[in-house]
Amino acid sequence: MNPTWPLPPDEAERQAALETYGVLDTPAQESLDRITRLASQILAVPIALVSLVDRDRQWFCSRVGLDACQTGREVAFCAHAICGTEILEVSDALLDDRFRNNPLVVGEPHIRFYAGVPLRNLDGFNLGTLCVIDQKPRVLSDSERQLLRELAGMVMQYLEDRRRTYACELTGLLNRRPFFDEGQREFHRALRNGSGLSVLIFDIDAFRSIVGDFGASGHDHALLSLTATLQAKVRRADLLARVAEDEFAVLLMDTDRDGALVVADAIQQAVEAGGLHFESQSLPLSVSGGVATLRAEDGNFTQLFHRASEALLQAKRQGRNRTVFADET
């Protein structure tokens, strides 16, 4: 089924890029709210938004003058704006064939004027827009357009800074802090729903020897090799993170002890079977793992993670290249 909104030619890559920022459906941030307030005040418009264009919606990570936190992509002016590289300016929506019958024009919030600057990341993908809206027609001056571009640059800088703290630059996986933030949310969800939740933690055996023999290149290659194996063996809904130098964690949703051990065994076998191929050499590679599953005594996600971490330490003490379940330590 073809969507009813325009698509950029790089839509699949654009969507994948957006997801690496980890900002969708997060709480409001004052840093962004200051920018939308400035846009509203300086340009004298009642509505200013930072809109991120998701698969079938636009989600507002900052908004002034609008109660809704999202709309469908089919009615989003911003869905049109991300198809270009310059400001999309609609002086009077009632005179524009693309928007004259739009529900947001003929009904609340009665959009007449719209101007949106694409939020273009360093790789050239438009994630969304910084946009301003008025209920009466108008035209921006050159200086107002430049101001809007400058404010959009500030939004993009915030998003880039956030991504650097959110995701590991080498592997693209979650860093430790966002993994714990997400883990705490999933911890509460599992308790509410009475569903399973398991944590796996792995680290690379003899990692210091690899780094000692092959230096920084070997270091990166080993980490990327394990990342690829983990991504191949877990579900899209599960969370992957690099939580320490050579330590990786997996949060398995709706998964009990038996299911977690199956996944851990599959990962361990795949790592050992694949080995490490570097500089025309094939080297053995193995990991040690710790597994813990949510239980009634866990007061928070940190306790669940700690039990998995203790199991990992036990696996190392027992000789490595094995997985230990927390309740067996």
Q: Which CATH class is domain 176-328?
A: alpha beta
Paired tokens of 2: 């073809």
Separation between Cα atoms, residue 157 and residue 159, nearest integer Å: 5
pLDDT of residue 249: 97
- CA contacts within 13 A on the Cβ side of 185: 9
- CA contacts within 13 A on the Cβ side of 12: 0
Direct distance between the N- and C-terminal alpha carbons of the chain, in angstroms, rounded to an integer:
52
Average pLDDT per block of 10 residues along the chain, 329 residues long: 80 89 86 96 97 96 96 96 97 96 96 98 95 98 97 96 84 90 92 94 90 83 92 92 93 95 95 85 90 93 95 93 83
DSSP state of 234: S
DSSP state of 73: G
Q: How far is CA 300 from CA 71, 137, 230, 303, in A?
A: 34, 53, 25, 6
Nearest to 233 by CA among 197, 266, 262: 266
CATH tag, 11-165: 3.30.450.40
* Helix (H) or strand (E) run with residue 127 in it: strand 126-134
Paired tokens of 124: 């050239």
Separation between Cα atoms, residue 270 and residue 150, nearest integer Å: 49
- The letter for the amino acid at 38 is L
**DSSP β-ladder status, 287-293 and 323-325:** parallel
pLDDT of residue 1: 45
| Domain limits, the chain | 11-165, 176-328
* Helix (H) or strand (E) run with residue 197 in it: strand 197-204
Paired tokens of 188: 């509460």
Q: Residue 320, class by beta-carbon neighbours within 10 Å (0-12 exposed, 13-18 middle, 19+ buried)?
A: middle
Please count the other Cβ atoms lying within 10 Å of the Cβ belonging to residue 243: 19
